[in-house]
Structure 1
Amino acid sequence: MTTALDHYNVRMLRVLDHIDAHLEGDLDLETVSGVAAFSKFHFHRQFKATFGLSLHRYVQLARLRRASKQLADAQGESVTDIALDAGYETPDAFARAFRQRFRQSPSSFRKSPEWEPWLQAFGPLNSARSKLMPTHFTPDQVTLRDTGPIRVAMFEHQGDPATLDVTIQRFIAWRKAAGLTPKTSPIFNIWYTERRPANPADYRMDLCVGIRPDQPIDPTDTAVREGEIPGGRVAVLSVSGDTHNLEPAALYLYRDWLPTSGEEMRDFPIYCQRFFLDEPAGGTAAELFLPLK
């Protein structure tokens, strides 16, 4: 039964990967159901039952999310080009849909994004993938490794995890302005609390990007600080395909792997490195690091 369910979930995740990689293409029911090799006569019900929103709404939200991120890049495409790429026949139709979702016009969002309505609009989209995240891991997936210290620029998020996407967008904007790209500079997350603490205000994590030893950090920039991920022994667990929610992998390391490993943790939080795969359909990948003595 588990194998059959896993196979089913893989087919459904394949659909999300295809949608996210082909937002400019034809994503009608027949095309998308064919990606998963499911009957088009039932697929719309399967999709909604699995992900909690209709195929049409998922595609619409995914296109609007890409469009909003393109708008946030002030040096990017024109509003007209972004509207057409998002599947709208006219810029006016795009503007109406954008304003309805985000309570801002596209031009206003480009000048000064308001991230709170943005977060609310994409709640269903962000939760869709997490419904099929892998939750089962085995000891042979964990490896031991020795790492060296890594100098990083650290961007802190402290407060309700529901607002994390806002911090992420600010971090990305800062990283781009600093000329740091994921292909040349490693991206890390450091977690100081569980994903859903009893008091959401207690949630804390750092978004980090690796920097050269000679690369300066502006001491007057209050948004970022210089730091270091210390070297040492670590237990490493890899996750690929979808990495929106890494809590199941972290819980496996803490709750299942560590007690039977004979290892002890050292005094540094669990952290991960994120990878952005060359092929968009491949999604993302991450390695979780549990620091050991």
Structure 2
Amino acid sequence: MAIPSRRLGRTPRPAASNPGAPSRAPARPAPGEAYTQRMNRVLDHIDTHLDETLEVATLAAVAHFSPFHFHRIFSAWMGETLGDYLRRRRLEVAAARLAGQRQMPVLHIALSVGFGSGEAFARAFKAHFGNTPSAWRANTDARWADELLRQRRKHDQVERKFDQAPVAPQTETTEVIQPDLRRSVMPVTLSTLPPTRIAYLRHIGPYGPSIAAFWQQRFLPWMQANDLGGRPCYGIGHDDPGITAPEHCRYDAAVEIPEHVTPPAPAGVVQLPGGRYALADYRGDGPGIGLAWTEFLRDWLPNSGLQIDSRPCFERYPVDAEYDPETGMFTCQLCIPVKAL
């Protein structure tokens, strides 16, 4: 389960491609892009098989590398050994599930991320987080309250800086709708979404301004180059920055693609799971969306009678999503996968 919370909004989508225009031959991917695609495939496989024994030979086969070289390639690419990554990823997913799925027994969570016993899980969890799994779960409300307060203070500081900035002369009247993010006022609906095939580019690093730059400088030009404009887009945060170190946080910028399309490297292709989601319409700016996510997950959700499950949270940008480059205001849907308690 991922809980995205500290991201900036995305940038304008490219115009739809011209159906009558001659098709362009796709450029041959650079060797580094092919490696990126193959290693991201390994990370995706790990996330969907955390409850299994993940052998080096199996993961090497997913990446189409020889087992002899795979471990060294993985360490160089990720900056940590495969064993360290698997241990960290299992514990971070477990920490998120302890907080978000409070009805699930601790032993079930331990088994769901690949630990063979509750005792082994408890030792590893305390070594990593400095708390037992039960204590971590018991402190969830206090951690979330602190996070919500921190996000509100951060947003207030941004607003004060904006209010103190000199106002440029205007030649026409423009109304900017700024939601009051100090209260959970976003309308929330429940909907069953179909599975969706998406192509993505991945950003690894801190959530925040670098995500907006990633959309503008990498993902949107890539969409245009591959004639994928005019389709719904997604922003998927795979990690909770309250749990995962900033340098390890993963974010995918993605676009819907039909079954017959297979984009070239470095893009990955996955199925975004369908099912029941809580949807909140967001209208605001980049700094505000972090607070909106925090309130949605850590204020609305605990009082909803529902719980989050192991599918990823994401932002959905429909074809008609709005973006104003003058103000930085945009619209999207915040989507949380939910199930009954």
TM-score of the two chains, using structure 1 as the length reference: 0.50
Question: 1:267, CA displacement in angstroms?
Answer: 0.7
Is the aligned partner of 1:192 residue 2:221? no
Note closer, same or farther for the CA distance 1:263–1:254 as it changes in structure 2 (3 Å cut): same
Paired position in structure 2 for 1:172: 220
Question: 1:49, CA displacement in angstroms?
Answer: 5.1
Is the aligned partner of 1:266 residue 2:328? no
Note closer, same or farther for the CA distance 1:174–1:145 as it changes in structure 2 (3 Å cut): same
Note closer, same or farther for the CA distance 1:155–1:255 as it changes in structure 2 (3 Å cut): same
The C-alpha deviation readout for 1:40-89, integer Å capped at 9, x for no partner, is: xxxxxxx9853454346x99xxxxxxxxxxxxxxxxxxxxxxxxxxxxxx
Is the aligned partner of 1:239 residue 2:282? yes
The structure 2 residue matched to 1:157, chosen from 203, 224, 233, is: 203
Question: Which secondary structure state, in structure 2, belongs to the residue aligned with residue 180 of structure 1?
Answer: coil
Question: 1:281, CA displacement in angstroms?
Answer: 8.0
Give yes or no for contact 1:195–1:247 (8 Å, CA) kept in 2. no
The structure 1 residue matched to 2:191, chosen from 128, 145, 150, is: 145
Greater length-normalized contact order (CA 8 Å, ≥ 6 residues apart): 2
Note closer, same or farther for the CA distance 1:279–1:195 as it changes in structure 2 (3 Å cut): same
Take 1:232 and 1:273, find their aligned partners in 2: how far apart are those partners? 15
Note closer, same or farther for the CA distance 1:155–1:51 as it changes in structure 2 (3 Å cut): farther
Give yes or no for contact 2:278–2:335 (8 Å, CA) kept in 1. yes
Note closer, same or farther for the CA distance 1:292–1:148 as it changes in structure 2 (3 Å cut): same
Question: 1:284, CA displacement in angstroms?
Answer: 2.0
Paired residue total: 170
Note closer, same or farther for the CA distance 1:241–1:258 as it changes in structure 2 (3 Å cut): closer
The C-alpha deviation readout for 1:188-207, integer Å capped at 9, x for no partner, is: 00112235767320222111
Take 2:191 and 2:181, find their aligned partners in 1: how far apart are those partners? 23
Question: Which secondary structure state, in structure 2, belongs to the residue aligned with residue 246 of structure 1?
Answer: helix
Note closer, same or farther for the CA distance 1:279–1:257 as it changes in structure 2 (3 Å cut): closer
Identity of aligned residues (%): 24
Take 2:323 and 2:205, find their aligned partners in 1: how far apart are those partners? 33
1:78-97 → structure 2 map (5 Å cutoff): none
Note closer, same or farther for the CA distance 1:211–1:133 as it changes in structure 2 (3 Å cut): farther
Take 1:53 and 1:195, find their aligned partners in 2: how far apart are those partners? 30
Letter in 1 for 2:309: R
Q: Could you say which structure has the higher helix fraction?
A: 1
TM-score of the two chains, using structure 2 as the length reference: 0.44
Note closer, same or farther for the CA distance 1:244–1:180 as it changes in structure 2 (3 Å cut): farther
1:203-214 → structure 2 map (5 Å cutoff): 203-214=249-260
Letter in 1 for 2:211: L
The C-alpha deviation readout for 1:222-254, integer Å capped at 9, x for no partner, is: x21001211000011111143554222211222
Take 1:174 and 1:143, find their aligned partners in 2: how far apart are those partners? 33
Note closer, same or farther for the CA distance 1:201–1:143 as it changes in structure 2 (3 Å cut): same
Unaligned runs of 5+ in 1: 1-46, 60-128
CA RMSD of aligned residues (A): 3.3
Note closer, same or farther for the CA distance 1:52–1:151 as it changes in structure 2 (3 Å cut): farther
Give yes or no for contact 2:323–2:331 (8 Å, CA) kept in 1. no
Question: Which secondary structure state, in structure 2, belongs to the residue aligned with residue 264 of structure 1?
Answer: strand
Take 1:54 and 1:132, find their aligned partners in 2: how far apart are those partners? 22
